[in-house]
Structure 1
């Protein structure tokens, strides 16, 4: 009898059965009983190599899946997770999806089908990933980090308070005296975009300011999108004096492209970003931003996925970390 037959009889994936028999995966008692029963009923002989592997101790191997390494936020997050893994004697492998849904699915398949990988930290940029859902249902320990993914409510999740961060940024611009504040937002289907958009709108309402729907622009989290928004801002009936950008990389594009449209930042247009990437400190002017706790995100995600590997039946973990406003030079009171 083959391992495939055992997996079919136990109603689990082949990779789940293999990792369990190798001692590399802890499953709930019901699943373990089904696999053990299938092994006995089918008289499957566990290979000697697998038995030896189950007796060996080794450092856990965690897969990290990220959208890209061009966006400094994802690069800094990956670096922080790698540092945390090294400090915890965890081996880390990194997969980059290029922000493509197809590659997100194929990497999820690859990780779930590997006997060597013990768990996954998943940073997605698309709302859905059926392969990720299947991997979680098959027992792979997964932590969904940053972006909410549909259908993964049973997986552990670590995120930040995007609503509060956007509220802080927009309120700060209103306190400086700005009355026409634009919002250059991310893709509308993403949870981060929706939460930041909601924070922007609530802050505007609480400041007694009207939202001009023509000044709410959605696009990808890229510097190219940031550089492309000026025709929409400068041709508006009431030109904005300030912008809350839903991502620092978008704000970087705005700072780079403003001069081409005859604008000075912050004299003609104040800009506040979101993420707190290190490059923001080197821009001219330095970027005012809402900073993510990258080191804490990395450390927490690694701790949670390790805990899930050791205790697969423990209660689901969901943590939301705060953002804080970092005031620099890209936002000033509106010019008279």
Structure 2
């Protein structure tokens, strides 16, 4: 007989039954009695600790959209390094940005009795199977993109609105009045907040926000390279662009020369993420730097606390979940410059 049979007879999830029998979860007395009765009735043999996970060690699954984007790769690397120092094993799973795959991975990890928590970096606002895992008591920490606001999870994000406002204001200070926004996929919280910051910065400076200068697309180099036919139309060309992802900005810088564009002489570019490759581009990329260490540190602090709470307290559903917001930092390099003729004015400010 299997652990699944025990869970079904006791009326609990397989994960709950597994963690209770391994001594990693306290449950209400009546729930414990149901599981114990089911074990006895079915004749299920409970594995000794030597056959299970290493005592004191936790296993956390980390779901990422991809590892081709250096931002996600750097976040995964930082999380695994910090986790190792805490005796936590991180298992990396790649969703490929597909909603169905995100959902399937969530179900897989929730049903695996060796997984103690999930660090979730998704690209979709909803995930029914993740919601069920949360309802069953599995600790979930969401990083970067917010998910269903009704979901009882801890969320760790950055101030995308404030960062976008800062980046756009910087371009305005350089004398640019026609500024494009090369944005991420519509519907994502990061995209919406960065767009809002961009628009408010223009409005507060008394500038017109031209909807034709806002382009949405995936966080890829290919999308960045494809934007120039739209940004170079006669009479419509901007002199600057705030780009919602460094990897998209990399594509723009790589394709600019093919379209007869010189950066920053013809087009100033400010990216977002602070990926390491931005320092090696020519020109070096001005960007909003993500607090990678801060995001990973907050995620590991939170997931460690939630695992401990879950193992020691049956009242998981009463725990208040927190939203942590970290700042973005503008790193000024060489991809953005003053509009010709405005330098003297800027020097007098």
The TM tier, using the shorter chain, reads over 0.9
The residue aligned with 1:94 is 92
1:319 to 309, 321, 324: 324
The residue aligned with 1:40 is 37
The 8 Å contact of residues 21 and 46 in structure 1, kept in 2 or not, is answered as no
2:217 to 195, 216, 219: 219
Q: Deviations over 1:142-168 (max 9, x none)?
A: 101110112553011111111001001
1:131 Cα deviation (Å)?
1.3
Give the distance between the partners of 1:48 and 1:128, measured in 2 at CA: 36
The residue aligned with 2:256 is 258
The residue aligned with 1:20 is 20
Deviates more, 1:237-246 or 1:98-107: 98-107
Give the distance between the partners of 1:236 and 1:215, measured in 2 at CA: 13
1:316 Cα deviation (Å)?
1.1
Q: Secondary structure at the match of 2:47?
A: helix
The 8 Å contact of residues 61 and 91 in structure 1, kept in 2 or not, is answered as yes
The residue aligned with 1:228 is 226
The 8 Å contact of residues 133 and 151 in structure 1, kept in 2 or not, is answered as no
1:119-198 aligned at under 5 Å gives the runs 119-150=117-148, 153-198=151-196
The residue aligned with 2:109 is 111
1:12 Cα deviation (Å)?
2.6
Q: Deviations over 1:257-305 (max 9, x none)?
A: 1111100000000000011111111100000001110011011101101
Q: Deviations over 1:208-267 (max 9, x none)?
A: 111010001100011100000001011153310000001111111110011111000000
Deviates more, 1:33-42 or 1:223-232: 33-42
Give the distance between the partners of 2:221 and 2:320, measured in 1 at CA: 40
Change (3 A) 1:253 1:41: closer
1:5 Cα deviation (Å)?
4.7
Equivalent pairs counted in the alignment come to 333
The residue aligned with 2:347 is none
Q: Deviations over 1:29-61 (max 9, x none)?
A: 44x632433433774455241566689723111
Give the distance between the partners of 1:101 and 1:82, measured in 2 at CA: 24
1:204 Cα deviation (Å)?
0.6
The 8 Å contact of residues 19 and 115 in structure 1, kept in 2 or not, is answered as yes
1:111 Cα deviation (Å)?
1.0
1:75 to 56, 73, 76: 73
The residue aligned with 1:274 is 272
Q: Secondary structure at the match of 2:157?
A: strand
1:236-251 aligned at under 5 Å gives the runs 237-251=235-249
Give the distance between the partners of 2:303 and 2:158, measured in 1 at CA: 17
Instruction: Show structure 1 runs of 4+ deviating over 4 A.
Output: 50-56
The 8 Å contact of residues 14 and 113 in structure 2, kept in 1 or not, is answered as no
TM-score, reference length from structure 1 = 0.93
TM-score, reference length from structure 2 = 0.90
Give the distance between the partners of 2:87 and 2:198, measured in 1 at CA: 41
The residue aligned with 2:8 is 8
The 8 Å contact of residues 131 and 151 in structure 2, kept in 1 or not, is answered as no
Change (3 A) 1:231 1:23: same
RMSD between superposed Cα atoms in Å: 2.0
Deviates more, 1:4-13 or 1:61-70: 4-13
Give the distance between the partners of 1:11 and 1:151, measured in 2 at CA: 28
In the alignment, structure 1 segments of 5+ residues that lack a partner are none
Q: Deviations over 1:78-119 (max 9, x none)?
A: 010011111212111111112222221221122111111111
1:321 Cα deviation (Å)?
0.6
In the alignment, structure 2 segments of 5+ residues that lack a partner are 311-315, 342-349
